[in-house]
Each structure stands twice: as C-alpha cells, then as structure tokens.
Structure 1
Amino acid sequence: MSSPPVPYFSQWESPELVTAIVTGAMSAADDPRWAESGADSAREYEFWSWRVCGMACLRMLLAQRGQEVPPSVELAKECERFGGYVRHEHGVRGLIYAPFLSWVADRFGLDGDVRVDLGVPELRDLVAQGHPVVASVHQAIREPKSVSPGQGGHLVLVTAVTETGLVINNPSGLSSYSQEGAQVDDEDFARFYALRGMVFGANTA
C-alpha cells in the first residue's frame, strides 16, 4: 500500500513569484492573489506569509487526506488563538509544536508527535514507512548545495525517500525547481536540519 500523492502549497499564494519575493525584488503585499490567503488586507498577508511555512505543511497534509483545506492566514490566526503562535513586539514566536499538534488533532483529526534528536537515518525509515514528517531546517535549503548558515527555523514536509536522499515539499522553495518534490541528498539535508520535527500517522490508500 502506498501513500497518496502530496499536493503542494507554497506559503505565498503565487508560487511562481516566490523567487522575486524572497530576493526582495517585490513585496509580498504585491502578490496579486493575496486575498486567497484569507487575510483581511495585503499588509496582513505580507506579515503572515513569511511565517506560515507550518500552515503550508498542514495544508499539504490535509489535501493528501482529501480533507477541506482552509486558507493559510485563516489557519494561522486560528492556530494563534490556540497557542501555536505567540505575538511579541518584534513579530511572532512559533510554530510551537505542542499546542499546534493539540489543535490539529482536535480540529482535523491529525495525529502527530514531536520528535527531537531525530537523525536522518531514522527520519528516512519513518518516511519510507509512510509517515509524513514536518522537519525543521534552515530556509536556505531552497539551495541545497549552498553553504548552510545554520539549522532550523523553517519547516518543510518530507514526503518520500530516494536511494541517496529525501524528497521534500518546501513552502518557500524557489520557483521552478525547489518547491514540489524537491530532491535533497541526505548529506545536504543534514547540513540544514535541526534534528527535530513532527511525525504524523501513516496515510495509505
């Protein structure tokens, strides 16, 4: 039994504009599809769009299961009400795994566990067994052959394994080559990976 395909969602409503947004060539507020996020304004969309990698991963999991997929900012604001995000004077703290997992279990019936010290070999085994893993990596993984500035701070959905690496759906992947089904060698993934994440129940069809 194999897992159903995993649809892709970017943390920006226009995936083809991600390169321009993350390089600063355009503002996220100028995304012509911003209203599809559920935000009340383009500025609210801009604020959340940089912070909703976890909501994009959640949307992918929901879509894979054939469930309704709410808009990203709508999800983020609901998640905030349940403690998954915490506002502070400089922005937002989160995604905070424990309250997030409690919320998605109650709201969507998704069962997940927080994992720390989750090495790449064990992560590979879990994914090969059909468990989607939301992994904490540095956002620079969108260029996996680049020098890693650190580990963690960004979430990607690990969907499959290859002989030498992992297949990820990256919510902030660059247009055309590092978004959906991006293949990253194990050794490259390890340079960006913070050895923590959330493991969800296997979904087979």
Structure 2
Amino acid sequence: MTAAPEAVPFFSQWETPDMTMAVLAEGARVALRRDPLWRNSGAATLDEYAVWADNVCGMACLKMILAARGEIVPTLELARRCAEHGGYVVNPEDGSIKGLIYAPFVTFVKEAFGLEARVMTGVATSDIPSLLARSRFFIASVSAGIRWPEREPPRKGGHLVLVTAASQAGFCFHNPSGHDRATQENAVLPPAVFDRFFANRGIAVTI
C-alpha cells in the first residue's frame, strides 16, 4: 500500500472530529450545537458554525494544505473569504449554502495564498498517481459514503477528500468527515475501491 505522508496535518470539518456519527444521526444543525470546540472554527456564533460546518469539507481540505506549509487558518474564516470570491452562494431566503464551486475557489486560493490550482474533470481513477506526480495534492470529489468502503454508495460525488499520495497499490487521503481515526487521517484504499466513490473530478493543487 502507499505510504502515508507524515507532513500533512489532518483537520475535520467539525471542530470535534468524533462528532460525525451524531451529525449523521441528528443533522449538523442539531448535533453541532453540542460541539464544545465550535469557537475554534472562526465562527462568530454557534448558529453560524452549525449552518456552515456541514458544507466546508473543501475548506477543511484547504486548511490541511495550508497547514502542510505551516499556516493555520480557521475553517470558517476560509469559507467566508471563499464566499466573497463566489466559491459559495448563500440563499438569503432559507440560508442554504451552494458550493464548493470550483472555478471561484481556484481564483481565491491563487489570490489569497499564492496556490496554483486547476479544476480537473474527466479524471480516471488510474490517472490520479500521475496527476499527483505533477501536483502536490488532489482534492477529489467522492461520495461521503467513502467512510464505509465495504458499502455501495448511493451516488458518486457530493463530498471532498484530500488525496495526499497515490500509486497503483493504494490511495492515501484525509477525509474531513470520517467517523473514526482509520477513516479520517491517512485512510488508504485500493484504486478499485476508491473508484466506486470517485466522481472523476476535483482540484489539483500545488504549494
């Protein structure tokens, strides 16, 4: 299997990483009101945190990328700044959040952090090792069900994970909504299993 890169810190999209099962059972807006660490997110209020945290898997991936070069930025600070660039769109009527929208995200990370990023579509799973040979990271669109690789996902896509290493033997990634340590930090899956969840798109990032 692919060796896990030790220099990439892990961050969950919730401030208390072991709350995933509660979020799945009760919904983020209910469960995350019990998160004792919510202020670490950079949210101004508990309401803001509970609304946004279920939508910031992409910002958690960005936070990990920045942390790999020594910068720690609160997740919701990243989300607000990304929204200013159009990476998220908030519905003023019901507060629902659309995003992550890839193209504005690429502009945001270039302007704010000097990161080189490219939107990638039509990516075959077998292409990911060579893609990572040219880019340091790949933010991959997968089913959130990747936390249970033994199950068949209802669909592909809808969630983002940070792929940090890949070979024909295995893909290593950080999952912002994994439910335990094994499915959160440096999770490793064979390419054929990863392929069942992968939506063939994502964002390549170089630091």
| TM-fit CA distance, 1:23 | 2.9
Structure 2 CA distance for partners of 1:35 and 1:75, relative to 1, 3 Å: same
Aligned to 1:97: 102
Q: Aligned runs of 1:183-202 on 2, under 5 Å?
A: 183-201=188-206
User: Residue by residue, what CA displacement relative to the aligned partner does 1:43-100 show, whole Å, maximum 9, x if unpaired?
Assistant: 210111100000000000001112x221111111111111000112451111011111
Q: Which runs of 4+ in 1 moved over 3 A?
A: none
Separation in structure 2 between the aligned mates of residue 55 and residue 112 of structure 1, nearest angstrom: 14
- The 3-state SS of whatever aligns with 2:115 is coil
Q: Aligned runs of 1:1-205 on 2, under 5 Å?
A: 5-24=7-26, 27-66=31-70, 68-88=71-91, 89-90=93-94, 91-128=96-133, 131-201=136-206
Unaligned runs of 5+ in 2: none
| TM-fit CA distance, 1:130 | 5.5
- The 3-state SS of whatever aligns with 1:102 is helix
Q: Percent identity?
A: 43
The count of aligned residue pairs is 200
Separation in structure 2 between the aligned mates of residue 61 and residue 195 of structure 1, nearest angstrom: 21
Separation in structure 1 between the aligned mates of residue 33 and residue 75 of structure 2, nearest angstrom: 15
Amino acid at match of 1:17: M
Unaligned runs of 5+ in 1: none
Separation in structure 1 between the aligned mates of residue 130 and residue 53 of structure 2, nearest angstrom: 32
TM-score (norm 2): 0.90
| TM-fit CA distance, 1:177 | 1.7
TM-score (norm 1): 0.91
Amino acid at match of 2:88: Y
- Structure with more helix by fraction: 2
Q: Given that residues 142 and 199 in structure 2 are in contact (C-alpha distance below 8 angstroms), is that contact kept between their aligned partners in structure 1? A: yes
- The 3-state SS of whatever aligns with 1:167 is strand
Amino acid at match of 1:59: K
Q: CA RMSD in A?
A: 1.9
| TM-fit CA distance, 1:4 | 6.4
Q: Given that residues 129 and 167 in structure 2 are in contact (C-alpha distance below 8 angstroms), is that contact kept between their aligned partners in structure 1? A: no
